[in-house]
């Protein structure tokens, strides 16, 4: 049994005596169990990586539904208020909903099996989608700043301020709901692109608040309130853009959380018969983590024994490190010349 198969078996096997009719569950979980095929047999379970992709796609569908409803409500107010600011915010929310398209495509592509050309699979498609999302955030920032400057140069009256303010609040709440959901799911499945998309939704929420604040300022006679608040929101978007760009950049550069490295090293040290831990390398492929590690075993260990130790270490890593789906552990003989030793005694993948 491979380490990946062992991992899937442990993660997906349901506990015994699991009775759907007697355990107290929330009503939405009951509905989920009713409409989703499930089984207690480990061989019928969905692969964890595939399930992560499905969870990401599900999050995108929810985002599209929430932002679509938000945009429709705002568009109704735009028709009878003639608010240019609200029109811009509505179009912005529509654009944000459409950013789910490249990420959804990336999730679908990432589910394709590896080939002889793409030996690591297609998980990097998520990182490419992350670049597109960062560019969308940057465009949103430029557009928000431009509209704010234009409104300063050409002030305009807004009718039905109460409805405009309500629509702005709806826009903020809709985007914040989407942002929280995308970020939570993205972090849970390890998708930097989905997290970046959530941050993008949060910037749109700030833009909606600008509509609300601007309407309040106009109501008390401050015609300059709307564009000034718009400029402040542009600055806020810049900070969010920096965070999103940094996260996607780190993923493209194969950066990982140092705490993950610490956990890998600790797990290897706790493996029986491991004398020392050498080089540890981790990288993200989409929302899946892969590891390449070196360990030192007794110089008197046979090839078979070294192989067994490496296999045990690999098995422990798969279970100890979240989102780790594959590991290669190389065992080398311990001794004073270990540093100069380049060929592993045994390697297990």
The enclosing domain of 331 has a CATH number of 3.30.70.1350
Res. 338 pLDDT band, cuts 50 70 90: low
Q: Which of 219, 252, 285 is the last residue of a domain?
A: 252
CA–CA distance, 179 with 144 (Å, rounded to integer) = 19
User: Which residue range forms the structural domain that includes residue 328?
Assistant: 258-348
Do 245 and 330 lie in one domain? The reply is no
Q: What's the mean pLDDT in 7-24?
A: 40
- Residue at 27 is within a domain: no
What integer pLDDT is reported at residue 55 of this predicted model? 81
Check residue 303 and give its pLDDT.
Answer: 93
Rounded CA Rg of the chain: 26
**114 is a domain residue:** yes
Residue 93 has pLDDT above 60, yes or no: yes
For residues 276 and 196, the model is more confident at: 276
Pick 169 or 339 by higher pLDDT: 169
Residues 302 and 153 in one domain: no
At 110 the pLDDT is 84
| Residue 25 lies inside a defined structural domain of this protein | no
Same domain, yes or no, for 137 and 51? yes
Q: pLDDT band for 226, please (50, 70, 90 cuts).
A: low
pLDDT computed for residue 337 by the predictor: 57
Give the mean model confidence (pLDDT) for residues 153-176. 83
Can you give the pLDDT at residue 345?
Answer: 44
Nearest partner of 167 among 99, 66, 87, 232, judged by Cα: 87
User: Collapsing DSSP states into helix, strand and coil, what is residue 270?
Assistant: coil
pLDDT higher than threshold 50 for residue 306: yes
Mean pLDDT check: name the lowest of 32-41, 44-53, 157-166.
32-41
User: Band of the pLDDT at 258, cuts 50, 70, 90?
Assistant: very high
Q: Is residue 263 part of a domain?
A: yes
Q: Are residues 156 and 205 in the same domain?
A: yes
Does 153 share its domain with 211? yes
pLDDT of 282 above 70:
yes
| Spatial contact of 77 and 167, defined as CB atoms under 8 Å apart | yes
Q: Are residues 147 and 284 in the same domain?
A: no
Q: Judge whether 15 lies within some domain.
A: no
Same domain, 112 and 234: yes
- What is the total count of domains within the chain? 2
Query: Closest by alpha carbon to 199, among 145, 245, 235?
Result: 245
Tokens of 107: 């999730």
**Which pLDDT band, with edges at 50, 70 and 90, does 219 fall under?**
confident
Q: Which of 138-147, 201-210, 240-249, 266-275 has the highest mean pLDDT?
A: 266-275
Query: Residue 92 pLDDT more than 80?
Result: no
pLDDT level of residue 48 (50, 70, 90 thresholds): low
- φ, ψ dihedrals at 190, nearest 5°: 80, 30
From CA 159, how far away is CA 134, in angstroms rounded?
A: 34
Domain co-membership, 59 together with 196: yes
Residues 174 and 196 in one domain: yes
Q: What is the DSSP string of 168-237?
A: HHHHHHHHHHHHHHHHHHHHHHT-HHHHHHHHHHHHHHHHHHHHHHHHHHHHTT-TTHHHHHHHHHHHHH
Q: What was the pLDDT predicted at 336?
A: 64
**Is residue 16 pLDDT above 60, yes or no?**
no
Residues 245 and 263 in one domain: no
In a domain, 147, yes or no: yes
148 shares a domain with 285: no
pTM: 0.66
Q: Given 252, 269, 298, which residue is the final one in a domain?
A: 252
Domain boundary among 252, 270, 290: 252
Cα first-last separation, the chain = 12
The CATH number of the domain where 138 resides is what?
A: 1.20.1510.10
Is 38's pLDDT higher than 70?
A: no
Task: Write out pLDDT tens, residues 58-83.
Answer: 888 888 889 889 989 988 987 877 67
Is 79 found in the same domain as 182? yes
What local confidence, expressed as pLDDT, does residue 39 receive?
31
The whole-number pLDDT of residue 273 equals 93
Give yes or no for residue 4 having a pLDDT over 80.
no
**Looking at the DSSP assignment, which residues form a beta bridge with residue 282?**
291
d(CA 42, CA 40): 6
Average pLDDT estimate for 32-42? 32
Residue 228 lies in a domain: yes
Domain membership of residue 4 (yes or no) is no
SS3 347: strand
């Amino acid at each position: 049994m491979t380490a990946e198969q062992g991992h899937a078996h442990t993660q997906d096997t349901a506990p015994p005596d699991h009775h759907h009719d007697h355990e107290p569950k929330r009503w939405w979980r009951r509905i989920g169990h009713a409409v989703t095929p499930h089984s207690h047999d480990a061989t019928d379970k969905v692969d964890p990586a595939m399930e992560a992709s499905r969870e990401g796609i599900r999050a995108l569908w929810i985002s599209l539904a929430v932002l679509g409803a938000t945009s429709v409500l705002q568009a109704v107010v735009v028709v009878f208020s003639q608010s240019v600011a609200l029109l811009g915010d509505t179009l912005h929310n529509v654009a944000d909903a459409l950013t789910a398209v490249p990420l959804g495509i990336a999730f679908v592509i990432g589910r394709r099996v590896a080939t002889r050309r793409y030996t690591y699979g297609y998980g990097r498609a998520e990182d490419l989608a992350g670049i597109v999302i960062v560019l969308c955030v940057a465009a949103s920032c430029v557009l928000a700043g431009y509209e704010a400057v234009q409104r300063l140069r050409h002030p305009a009256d807004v009718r039905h301020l109460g409805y405009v303010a309500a629509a702005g609040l709806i826009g903020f709440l809709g985007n914040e709901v989407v942002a929280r959901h995308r970020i939570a799911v993205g972090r849970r499945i390890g998708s930097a692109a989905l997290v970046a998309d959530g941050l993008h939704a949060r910037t749109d929420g700030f833009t909606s608040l600008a509509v609300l604040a601007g309407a309040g300022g106009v109501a008390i006679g401050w015609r300059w309130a709307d564009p000034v608040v718009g400029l402040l929101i542009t600055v806020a978007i810049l900070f969010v853009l920096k965070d999103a760009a940094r996260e996607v950049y780190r993923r493209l550069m194969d950066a990982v959380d140092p705490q993950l490295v610490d956990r890998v090293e600790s797990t290897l040290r706790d493996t029986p018969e491991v004398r020392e831990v050498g080089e540890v390398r981790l990288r993200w492929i989409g929302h899946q983590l892969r590891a390449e590690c070196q360990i030192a075993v007794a110089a008197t260990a046979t090839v078979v024994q070294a192989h067994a130790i490496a296999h045990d270490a690999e098995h422990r890593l798969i279970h100890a490190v979240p989102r780790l789906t594959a590991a290669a552990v190389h065992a080398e003989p311990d001794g004073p010349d270990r540093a100069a030793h380049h060929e592993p005694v045994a390697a297990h993948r």
